[in-house]
């Protein structure tokens, strides 16, 4: 099991190794932008990282029913956890998760890494 990164690692240009400095040449600004985007994504998650991770694990579990093009499984999970269904569903929609399989596909792709669901 991996522990979710806290996002506190600070990377500033001065500390970069030479290799990194080379590859960051011209891409430095892009990297900064990515870092900002990353932070924005992380703070947008409307539940604890543990809850999101469990949600993704739950949807991705063995023997899960096939997606019927609704968020049935997702909403069932949120209700069971006492989470804010409306808020989470709005957030899922914003990020391309319109049904259970899209949550696995799009949300896991975008956010899974922040909550310790790193794929091989
Ligand atoms: Zn689906």
Helix (H, G, I), strand (E, B) or coil at 62: coil
Q: Mark out the alpha helices in 1-120 (DSSP H runs).
A: 18-24, 28-44, 49-59, 72-81, 85-94, 100-102, 108-111
* Cα of 105 from ligand 1 centre, angstroms: 9
* Cα of 84 from ligand 1 centre, angstroms: 21
Structure tokens of 106? 């799009």
pTM equals 0.72
**Domain boundaries, given as residue ranges, for the chain:** 15-44, 49-115
* Cα of 86 from ligand 1 centre, angstroms: 19
Cβ–Cβ < 8 Å for 115, 5? no
56-113 pLDDT tens trace: 999 999 999 999 999 999 999 999 999 999 999 999 999 999 999 999 999 999 999 9
* Cα of 71 from ligand 1 centre, angstroms: 8
54-63 pLDDT tens trace: 999 999 999 9
Helix (H, G, I), strand (E, B) or coil at 59: helix
């Amino acid at each position: 099991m991996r522990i979710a990164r806290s996002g506190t690692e600070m990377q500033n240009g001065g500390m970069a190794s030479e290799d990194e400095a080379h590859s960051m040449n011209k891409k430095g600004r892009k990297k900064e932008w990515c870092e900002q985007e990353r932070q924005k994504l992380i703070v947008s998650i409307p539940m604890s990282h543990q809850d999101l991770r469990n949600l993704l694990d739950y949807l991705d579990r063995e023997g899960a029913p096939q997606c019927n093009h609704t968020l049935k499984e997702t909403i069932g999970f949120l209700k069971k956890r006492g989470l804010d269904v409306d808020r989470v569903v709005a957030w899922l929609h914003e990020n391309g998760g319109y049904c259970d399989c899209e949550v696995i596909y799009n949300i896991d792709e975008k956010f899974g890494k922040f909550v310790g669901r790193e794929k091989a």
